Amino acid sequence: MTDQTPQVRLERAKEASRATAALTSDDKARVLEAIAVALEQSAPRIIEANALDITRGQADGIGDSLIDRLRLDEKRVTALASAVRDVAALPDPVGRVVGGHRMPNGVALEQVRVPFGVVGAIYEARPNVTVDIAALALRSGNAVVLRGGSAARDSNTVLVQIMRDALEGAGVTPEAVQTVDDFGRDGAKALMHGRGFIDVLVPRGSAGLIETVVTESTVPVIETGAGNVHIVLDESAPEDWARDIVVNAKVQRPSVCNAVETVLVLRQAAPRLVPLVASALQSEGVAIHGDDMVAGLVSNVIPATEEDWATEYLSLDIAIKVVDTLDDAIAHIRLYSTGHTESIVTTDTRNAERFLAEVDSAVVMVNTSTRFTDGGEFGFGAEVGISTQKLHARGPMGLSELTSTKWLARGSGQTRG
C-alpha cells in the first residue's frame, strides 16, 4: 500500500464496496474463513509486531489499561480467529426483508437490508478492533477503512496486510480493507471529512477521541460512549450475588468500557453489604473511593470527590456511595451515567422492574455482571462498538447495525394520477 494520499484509499474502498455488496453469503463466509486461517498461521508474526507496540507504549507511559487493550498474545490471536469464524457463521443480514405491503393500486413494496457501503473506524490502542470491525464489515457486504492510532501501529500494519492478502487469495479485491494509519492525523481527518466515500464512521476510544470525531465529522457518525457503569445493591440483594457480581464486573478485566466504576448501595443494606463487597474488592487489589458512610464501614478508603462519581477509571479503582432509596440511586445514574450499562442486584421484583423501566442506558441489567455487555457475549460474534446514542444502533453493534435499508417497488404499469 504505497498510495501517497488518503483520498486515493477512500476512493478505492468505495469502488471495492460495490464488489463486496455483490458477494453471496457463502462467498463472504469463505472469505472470513480465509482470514481466520491466515491469522492463526501468522500468529508469531502478529505477536512479534505487537511486542514492538508494547515496548513503545511502556516507554511512552501510556498506562496499564491501554497496555492491556493493546496486548496480543497467542491466546488473544486465537480468540481473534475464533471471533472471525463466529461472525462467518452468523445469518447474513443483507437481503433480509424488514417489512412491506401492497399499495391499493397493486404496487408491491418491500423494505430490505442492504450494506452501508464503506464503514470507517477511528480507534485507539485496540488491535483486536482492526480484525473485529473488518470481519463484521465484510460479512455485512461493506468495505472498511481503518484508523487505529499510533499506539498499535506495528500490530495494525501486520493485521491489515494479513487480511488483504487473505482477501486476494480468496479472489476478492484486497481494496475492501484499507488503513490510513500511515497518514497520521491527516488520515483521521480524511475519514471525518470523507463525504461521498465514507458512509458511516464509528469512533472507539477515549471520551476525547469520541467527542472530536462527533464534533468534527461531516459524515454520519455512530457514537460509541465511555463506560461510567453502575451497579446498585438494594436491601434484598443476596450477599453472594452482590459480592460475586461486583467483583467480576470490576476485576475480570478492569480496562474495558463495560467494567463497573460506581457501586450504589441502599442505606438499609449498607451495614451488611458494604464491608463484604469492599473486602472482596480490596483482596483483589481494588482501591475504594467512598463517601463518609463507606469510610465508616471499611478501612483504607480514599475519600470520594465529585469527580469520582463521573470518572471512568479503567483501572483497579472503584467508587462506592450509600444512597437513601432506589429513587436516589436512579437519580445518581441519570446525573453521572454515560448511558452505557447499569445493573441492579435485587430479589425484589418491583425494584427490578422499576430499574429496567426507568434507567435509560443502552443496556440495563438485573442480577448479572455488566461485563456481559459485549457483542461476542450477546451472540454477535464480535462488535463494532457499543453505541450509547439513540438512533438506529444502540448497545453492542453487530451485523444488522452495519446495514441500512432500501425500498423495492414492483408494479405492473401503474401511474400516479
Q: Are residues 208 and 240 in the same domain?
A: no
Q: Specify if 108 maps to a domain.
A: yes
Sheet of 118-123, strands arranged across: 177-179, 143-147, 118-123, 200-204
Name 91's Cβ contacts closer than 8 Å, sequence gap at least 6: none
Q: Are residues 36 and 169 in the same domain?
A: yes
Q: Are residues 24 and 39 in the same domain?
A: yes
Return the H-helix or E-strand segment holding 327.
Answer: helix 326-336
**Total domains in the fold of the chain:** 2
Question: What pLDDT sits at residue 299?
Answer: 96
Angstrom distance (rounded) from CA 232 to CA 351: 11
Domain range enclosing 323: 229-372
Q: Specify if 275 maps to a domain.
A: yes
Q: Specify if 157 maps to a domain.
A: yes
Question: What pLDDT sits at residue 224?
Answer: 82
By the 8 A CB rule, do 338 and 260 touch? no
Q: Are residues 211 and 268 in the same domain?
A: no
Q: Are residues 249 and 344 in the same domain?
A: yes
Q: Are residues 50 and 139 in the same domain?
A: yes
Cell 463466509 belongs to: 29
Helices (H), 112-170: 127-139, 153-169
Terminal Cα-to-Cα distance of the chain (whole angstroms): 55
Question: What pLDDT sits at residue 352?
Answer: 98
Q: Specify if 3 maps to a domain.
A: no
Q: Specify if 26 maps to a domain.
A: yes
By the 8 A CB rule, do 297 and 274 touch? yes
Give the Å distances, CA to CA, from 174 to 6, 141, 178, 401: 16, 14, 8, 23
Q: Are residues 98 and 187 in the same domain?
A: yes
Question: What pLDDT sits at residue 3?
Answer: 59
Mean pLDDT by 10 residues, the chain (417 residues): 82 97 97 98 97 95 85 96 94 95 97 97 91 95 95 96 98 97 94 96 86 94 87 98 98 92 98 98 98 97 97 95 98 96 98 97 96 88 80 84 94 93
Taking only the tens place, the pLDDT of each residue in 255-294 is 888 999 999 999 999 999 999 999 999 999 999 999 999 9
What's the CATH number where 354 sits? Answer: 3.40.309.10
Q: Are residues 207 and 339 in the same domain?
A: no
Question: What pLDDT sits at residue 1?
Answer: 53
User: For residue 291, which amino acid is it?
Assistant: D
Question: Phi-psi category of 387—alpha, beta or left, where left has phi over 0 and alpha has psi -120 to 50?
Answer: beta
Angstrom distance (rounded) from CA 160 to CA 121: 13
Q: Are residues 324 and 350 in the same domain?
A: yes
Angstrom distance (rounded) from CA 4 to CA 287: 49
Angstrom distance (rounded) from CA 43 to CA 67: 19
What's the CATH number where 80 sits? Answer: 3.40.605.10
State the pairing for strand pair 97-102/177-179. Answer: unpaired
Return the H-helix or E-strand segment holding 408.
Answer: strand 403-410
Q: Specify if 360 maps to a domain.
A: yes
Angstrom distance (rounded) from CA 279 to CA 299: 9
By the 8 A CB rule, do 214 and 122 touch? no
State the pairing for strand pair 395-396/386-387. Answer: antiparallel
State the pairing for strand pair 177-179/143-147. Answer: parallel
Helices (H), 177-317: 185-192, 207-216, 239-251, 270-283, 292-297, 306-309
Angstrom distance (rounded) from CA 147 to CA 153: 10
CA atoms within 13 A on the CB side of 288: 29
Q: Specify if 256 maps to a domain.
A: yes
Predicted structure pTM score: 0.83
Angstrom distance (rounded) from CA 358 to CA 386: 20
Q: Strand, coil or helix: what is 396?
A: strand
Q: Specify if 383 maps to a domain.
A: no
Q: Are residues 121 and 159 in the same domain?
A: yes
Q: Are residues 168 and 255 in the same domain?
A: no
Q: Are residues 72 and 216 in the same domain?
A: yes
